[in-house]
C-alpha cells in the first residue's frame, strides 16, 4: 500500500515538474487575469482604475492591455486588466464589474460582452459617482461618459470597397465571422453586407457562416464553402480566427492567387500571408490605441474634464505595400 | 444479457445492430446530400469531410474506451490542446527535432490520462469530477505554457507538409507512372493531380489509430477487461482482476489518443492555439454515443465510433454546403443525437 501511495505522489510530482520545466519562473503578467481581480495596490495614493475587457487570451486583448498599461504608466495611475475567458461569459464579466465597483475605484473602463446586460450595474456606478468609460464596443446606455472604439461598420464597409476593387466589381464573395451575437460580429457582417448591396449590384454574397473564432472549425467551414461555390472570387473573414480558417482552407485547396482574401486585425499568420501576397490585405483596428485612449479618458473623467462621447480609435487598410510603414507597424500585433 | 458477459463472440451482439443503424443513417445522409448538391461528392469536399473528422475521430476513439469501461472523460479537448502546446514548446521554443516534439505531445496526453486514471482509482474521485478538474487544469496550463500566445511551426514547415501531404496521391502517381520525385507530398500545385490527393496523411493517421484501437478493444486482454469492468466492475474485481490498474491503463490510453489529436491539430493549423479545445469533448462523446457506445458502460465498438464521427462531420458539411443557417445546423445535430439514443433504447426493450 505504501509503495502505491508513493507511486501516486511520484507520478503527480513528475507531472508538476514537467509542467514547471516548461515555464520560465517569472511570468506574472500572464497569470494575473485568471485570478480574481488583483487587489488595488494600497501602498501608493495613485488613483485606481480597473479595466474590464472582453477577454484576455487573444492577441488582440493583449495588445489592448499593453496600450492601457502604457497610459497608466504615463498618467501615473494604477490599473488592473481582466476579462472573462470567452466572449459569451456575460455573467462572469458582470461579477468582475461588481467586484470592481466594490473597491471604490476612481473610474472603470469596460468593454461589455453584452450591450444590455450592464445597464443596472451602470446605474449603480452612476449613483456611486464612479465614471465609466466604454471601450471596444458600446453599451445601450448613455451613462458611460465616453466610449473609445473602432467604428466597425465603417471599417467593414471599407473592406467591402477593397474587395470590390480587387475582384473587378462583380462576382461571388463569401463571409466568415466569429459569431452573430456580439456587437463586433454583428457590425462587421452588417457593414460589409450593406456596403456590397448598396454600391455593388454585380457582387453577390453567396454565404455567411460563423466559426466561433475557432481556427479549426473556421477552416472546415471555409473549405466547404469554397468547394460549394466554384466561382467564388473573394472571401472576407471578420476576425483573426475566422480569417486564419480561410487561409488554411485556401492553402489546403491550392487556391493561392485564385481567391481574393481580405481579413481583419493582425497576428503573425495573417501578416505572413499578406507579406507573401497569399492574402490581399486586412483591416486593422488600433488595439493599443483603444487601450491607451480608454485609460486616458478615464483619467480625464476622474478629474472632471469634459470628454467627447465617442472617441474614434480609427482603422487602417494594410496590404503588402504598406505593411512595413511605421504607422501600420505601430498598430499591428503578432 | 448474455451478450454483455461474452461481448466479443456473438455476431448478434447489440452494438452491431446499433452500428447498422448508425451506418444506415450515414448512408442516408450521404445520399440526401449528394442529391441536394452537386458539390457534395466532389473529391475536394470528400477530402474536406475526412479532414474534418480526423481530430474529433481520434478524440472519440479514446473516449470510447473510457465510456465502455463505465467512466467518462471530459478533459480530452483541453488535453489535446495542452499536448499541441507541448509539441510546439519542444519543436519551436526548444528547437528539438520534430519527432521528439511529436513524442512529447503524445507523452503529455498519456500523462494527463494517467493522472485522470490515478484520480479515479486511487483518490476515488468520480470520473466526471476528476476529468472535469483535468479539463480546467489543462486549459489553464495551455495558457500558462504558451504565455497566452499561439506558437507557430514556421521554422519547421516539414511538420505541416508531411501531415497535409498525400502519400495516397504519391502512390497513385507511382502506379500510373507520373510520379515526380522532386515534388513529393504535393508541395506545389500539381502538374499531375490524382483523385486521391485530397485524402491527406493525417486522415491516414486517423484510420491507423482506429485500426489500432479496434485491435486493442477486440483482441487484447485490455479490451476484454474494458467490457468486463463496464458491465460489472465488482464481478470483475471478485474474479481476481486488478481493476484499479486496468482502469488507470484505460484512462492513460484515452489520454494518449488525445495527445495524438493534439499533434494532428497542431500539424493541420501549423500552430498550437492555446485558447481552443473546450467543447471538443462533447463532439467526441456524441460521436461515440451515435455509434452505439452505451453511456452506462459495457457496450460499444470502435467501428461504431468511427461511423458516429463521420455522421457528425457529414451532417455539418452537408448542411453548410446547402447554406443552412448555422443555428439550425446545431439543432439538427442535437436531434440526431437524441434520435440515435432513442432507437438504441427501443431496440433494448
pLDDT tens, N- to C-terminus, chain A (334 residues): 445 565 555 555 555 555 544 444 333 333 334 444 444 444 457 899 999 998 877 778 888 999 999 999 999 999 999 888 777 677 788 888 888 888 889 999 999 887 777 888 898 899 889 999 999 877 778 889 999 989 999 999 999 999 999 999 999 999 999 988 777 888 999 999 999 999 999 999 999 999 888 899 999 999 999 999 999 999 999 999 999 999 999 998 888 889 999 999 988 899 999 999 999 999 999 999 999 999 999 999 999 888 888 898 989 999 999 999 988 988 888 8
Asked if A122 contacts A144 with a C-beta cutoff of 8 angstroms, the reply is yes
Rounded Cα distance, B15 and B345, in Å = 12
Q: What is the dihedral of CA B273, B279, B280, B286, to 10 degrees?
A: -170
Cα–Cα distances in angstroms (integers) from residue B238 to residues A312, B177, B233, B318, in the given order:
72, 62, 9, 49
- Residues of B within 8 A of A18 (CB-CB) are 108, 111
Determine, yes or no, domain membership for B71: yes
A224·B320 Cβ contact <8 A = yes
Residue A17's pLDDT is 54
In a domain, B135, yes or no: yes
Range of the domain at B234: 2-6+22-165+200-348
Taking the C-alpha atoms of residue B225 and residue B237, their distance in angstroms, rounded to an integer, is 10
- The single-letter DSSP state of residue B156 is -
Predicted local distance difference test score (pLDDT) of residue B188: 52
Among B104, B323, B330, most A C-beta atoms within 10 A, so best to mutate, is B323
Mutation target vs A (from B242, B275, B318; most A CBs, 10 A cutoff): B275
Distance from CA of B177 to the nearest CA of A (A): 23
pLDDT of residue A15: 54
User: What is the per-residue pLDDT for A28?
Assistant: 39
pLDDT at position B161 over 90: no
First to last CA, chain A: 52
Domain-located, residue B179: no
Choose, out of B42, B271, B320, the residue to mutate when testing the contact with A (most A CBs < 10 Å).
B320
Q: What DSSP character marks residue A39?
A: P
Strands (E), A229-269: 232-237, 260-264
Domains with residue ranges and CATH for chain A: 46-150+287-314 (3.40.50.2300), 152-285 (3.40.50.2300)
In chain B, how many domains are there?
Answer: 1
- Which residue bears the cell 474534418? B52
Q: What is the dihedral of CA B21, B26, B29, B30, to 10 degrees?
A: -140
Q: Which residues of B touch A272 (CB under 8 A)?
A: 154
Nearest alpha carbon to residue A223 among B242, B342, B256, B321: B321
The predicted model gives B275-279 an average pLDDT of 85
Q: Which of A57, A207, A269 sits opposite B148 (nearest CB)?
A: A57
pTM of the model: 0.78
Classify residue B13: in a domain, yes or no: no
Q: What is the least distance, in Å, from the CA of B196 to any CA of chain A?
A: 13
- DSSP three-state, residue B65: helix
Which of B42, B44, B185 should one mutate to test binding to chain A, selecting the residue with the greatest count of A CBs within 10 A?
B44
10 Å CB burial of residue A42 (0-12, 13-18, 19+) is exposed
Pairing of strands A132-135, A171-177: unpaired
Query: What DSSP state is assigned to residue A34?
Result: G
For residue A17, the Cα-to-chain-centroid distance in whole angstroms is: 34
Q: Please report, rounded to a whole number, the percentage of residues in chain B having pLDDT higher than 70.
A: 90
Per-residue buried b or exposed e for A283-295, using 16+ beta carbons within 10 Å of the residue's own CB = bbbbbbbbbbbbb
B48 vs A19, A27, A223: nearest CB: A223
SS3 content of chain B, % helix, strand, coil (to 5): 70, 0, 25
In angstroms, what separates the C-alpha of B44 from chain A's closest C-alpha? 7
Rounded to whole angstroms, the Cα distance separating B281 from B127 reads 14
User: What is the pLDDT, as a whole number, of residue B225?
Assistant: 96
Instruction: Name which of A49-58, B111-120, B202-211, B304-313 the model is least confident about.
Output: A49-58
Q: Residue A326 is placed in which grid cell?
A: 511605421
DSSP A311: E
Query: Using the beta-carbon criterion (under 8 Å), do A34 and B143 form an inter-chain contact?
Result: yes
Smallest Cβ–Cβ distance between B164 and the set A206, A225, A252 belongs to A252
Q: Helix crossing, A215-228 with B43-68: angle to 10°?
A: 140
Residue B285, pLDDT > 60, answer yes
CB atoms within 10 A of CB B116: 31
- The answer to whether the CB atoms of B140 and A34 lie below 8 A apart is yes
Average model confidence (pLDDT) across chain B: 88
Q: Are B274 and A225 in contact (CB < 8 Å)?
A: no
Residues of B in contact with A22 (CB under 8 A): 86, 89, 145
Question: β-strands A146-149, A132-135: how paired?
Answer: parallel
How far apart (Å, rounded) are the C-alpha atoms in residues B156 and A230?
32
Residue B316 lies in a domain: yes
Residues 6+ away with beta carbon under 8 Å from A148: A133, A134, A135, A136, A289, A290, A293, A294, A297, A311, A313
Check residue A1 and give its pLDDT.
44
Q: Find cell 477552416 and name the residue.
A: A219
Q: In CATH, what number is assigned to the domain containing residue B232?
A: 1.10.3470
Do the Cβ atoms of B192 and B166 come closer than 8 Å? Answer: no
Tell me if chain B has a CB within 8 Å of the CB of A123.
Answer: no
CB contact under 8 A, B111 and A62: no
Determine contact: A204 vs chain B, CB below 8 A.
no
Whether B117 is covered by a domain: the verdict is yes
Distance of CA A272 to the CA centre of its chain: 19
Do B268 and A223 make contact, defined as CB atoms within 8 angstroms?
no
Give the residue on B whose Cα is nearest the Cα of A31: B144
Q: How far is A75 from chain B (nearest CA, A)?
A: 27
> Domain for residue B16, yes or no?
no
More confident residue, B166 or A237: A237
Determine, yes or no, domain membership for B187. Answer: no
* Minimal Cβ distance to A57: which of B55, B122, B274: B274
**Mapping DSSP to helix (H, G, I), strand (E, B) and coil, where does residue B113 land?**
helix
Q: Which of B86, B148, B265 sits opposite A62 (nearest CB)?
A: B148
CB contact (8 A) between residue A248 and residue B269: yes
Q: What is the largest CA-CA distance in chain A?
A: 78
Amino acid at each position: 500500500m505504501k509503495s502505491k501511495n508513493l507511486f501516486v505522489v511520484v507520478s503527480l510530482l513528475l507531472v508538476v515538474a514537467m509542467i514547471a520545466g516548461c515555464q520560465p519562473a517569472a511570468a506574472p503578467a500572464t497569470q494575473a487575469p485568471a485570478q480574481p481581480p488583483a487587489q488595488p495596490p494600497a501602498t501608493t495614493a495613485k488613483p485606481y482604475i480597473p479595466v474590464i475587457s472582453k477577454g484576455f487570451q487573444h492577441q488582440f486583448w493583449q495588445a489592448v492591455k499593453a496600450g492601457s498599461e502604457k497610459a497608466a504608466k504615463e498618467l501615473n495611475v494604477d490599473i488592473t486588466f481582466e476579462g472573462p475567458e470567452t466572449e459569451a461569459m456575460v455573467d462572469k464579466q458582470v461579477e468582475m464589474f461588481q467586484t470592481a465597483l466594490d473597491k471604490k475605484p476612481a473610474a472603470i473602463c469596460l468593454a461589455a460582452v453584452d450591450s444590455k446586460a450592464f445597464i443596472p450595474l451602470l446605474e449603480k456606478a452612476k449613483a456611486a459617482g464612479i465614471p465609466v468609460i466604454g471601450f471596444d464596443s458600446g453599451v445601450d446606455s448613455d451613462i458611460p461618459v465616453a466610449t473609445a472604439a473602432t467604428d466597425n461598420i465603417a471599417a467593414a464597409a471599407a473592406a467591402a470597397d477593397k474587395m470590390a476593387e480587387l475582384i473587378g466589381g462583380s462576382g461571388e464573395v463569401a463571409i466568415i465571422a466569429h459569431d452573430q451575437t456580439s456587437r463586433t460580429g454583428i457590425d462587421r457582417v452588417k457593414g460589409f453586407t450593406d456596403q456590397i448591396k448598396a454600391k455593388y449590384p454585380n457582387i453577390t454574397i453567396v454565404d455567411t457562416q460563423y466559426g466561433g473564432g475557432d481556427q479549426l472549425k473556421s477552416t472546415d467551414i471555409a473549405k466547404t464553402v469554397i468547394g460549394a461555390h466554384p466561382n467564388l472570387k473573394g472571401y472576407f473573414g471578420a476576425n483573426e480566427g475566422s480569417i486564419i480558417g480561410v487561409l488554411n482552407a485556401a492553402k489546403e485547396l491550392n487556391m493561392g492567387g485564385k481567391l481574393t482574401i481580405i481579413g481583419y486585425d493582425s497576428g503573425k499568420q495573417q501578416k505572413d500571408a499578406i507579406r507573401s501576397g497569399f492574402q490581399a490585405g486586412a483591416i486593422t483596428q488600433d488595439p493599443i490605441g483603444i487601450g491607451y485612449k480608454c485609460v486616458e479618458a478615464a483619467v480625464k473623467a476622474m478629474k472632471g474634464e469634459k470628454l467627447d462621447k465617442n472617441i474614434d480609435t480609427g482603422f487602417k487598410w494594410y496590404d503588402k505595400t504598406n505593411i512595413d510603414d511605421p504607422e501600420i507597424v505601430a498598430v499591428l500585433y503578432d | 444479457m448474455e451478450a454483455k458477459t461474452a461481448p466479443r463472440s456473438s455476431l448478434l451482439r447489440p452494438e452491431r445492430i446499433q452500428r447498422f443503424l448508425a451506418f444506415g443513417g450515414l448512408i442516408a445522409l450521404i445520399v440526401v446530400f449528394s442529391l441536394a448538391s452537386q458539390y457534395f461528392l466532389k473529391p475536394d469536399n470528400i477530402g474536406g469531410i475526412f479532414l474534418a473528422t480526423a481530430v474529433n475521430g481520434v478524440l472519440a476513439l479514446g473516449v470510447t474506451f473510457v465510456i465502455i469501461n463505465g467512466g467518462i472523460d471530459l478533459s480530452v479537448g483541453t488535453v489535446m490542446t495542452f499536448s499541441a502546446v507541448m509539441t510546439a514548446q519542444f519543436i519551436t521554443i526548444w528547437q528539438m527535432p520534430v519527432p521528439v516534439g511529436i513524442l512529447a505531445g503524445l507523452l503529455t496526453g498519456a500523462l494527463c490520462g494517467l493522472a485522470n486514471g490515478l484520480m479515479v482509482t486511487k483518490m476515488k474521485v468520480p470520473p466526471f469530477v476528476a476529468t472535469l478538474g483535468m479539463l480546467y487544469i489543462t486549459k489553464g496550463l495551455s495558457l500558462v505554457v504558451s504565455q497566452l500566445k499561439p506558437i507557430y511551426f514556421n521554422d519547421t514547415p516539414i511538420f505541416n507538409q508531411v501531415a497535409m501531404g498525400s502519400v495516397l496521391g504519391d502512390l497513385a502517381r507511382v502506379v500510373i507512372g507520373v510520379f515526380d520525385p522532386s515534388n513529393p507530398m504535393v508541395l506545389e500545385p500539381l502538374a499531375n493531380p490524382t483523385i486521391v490527393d485530397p485524402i491527406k496523411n493525417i486522415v491516414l493517421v486517423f484510420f491507423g489509430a482506429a485500426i489500432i484501437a479496434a485491435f486493442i478493444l477486440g483482441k487484447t486482454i485490455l479490451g476484454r477487461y474494458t467490457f468486463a469492468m463496464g458491465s460489472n466492475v465488482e464481478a470483475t474485481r471478485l474474479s481476481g482482476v486488478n481493476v484499479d490498474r486496468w482502469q488507470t491503463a484505460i484512462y492513460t490510453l484515452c489520454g494518449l489518443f488525445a495527445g495524438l489529436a493534439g499533434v494532428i491539430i497542431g500539424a493541420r493549423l501549423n500552430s498550437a492555439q492555446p485558447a481552443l479545445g473546450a467543447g471538443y469533448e462533447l463532439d467526441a462523446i456524441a460521436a461515440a454515443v451515435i455509434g452505439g457506445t452505451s453511456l452506462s458502460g459495457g457496450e460499444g465498438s470502435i467501428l461504431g465510433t468511427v461511423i458516429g464521427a463521420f455522421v457528425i462531420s457529414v451532417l455539418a458539411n452537408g448542411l453548410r454546403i446547402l447554406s443552412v443557417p448555422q443555428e439550425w445546423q446545431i439543432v439538427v445535430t442535437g436531434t440526431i443525437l437524441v434520435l440515435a439514443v432513442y432507437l438504441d433504447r427501443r431496440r433494448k426493450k
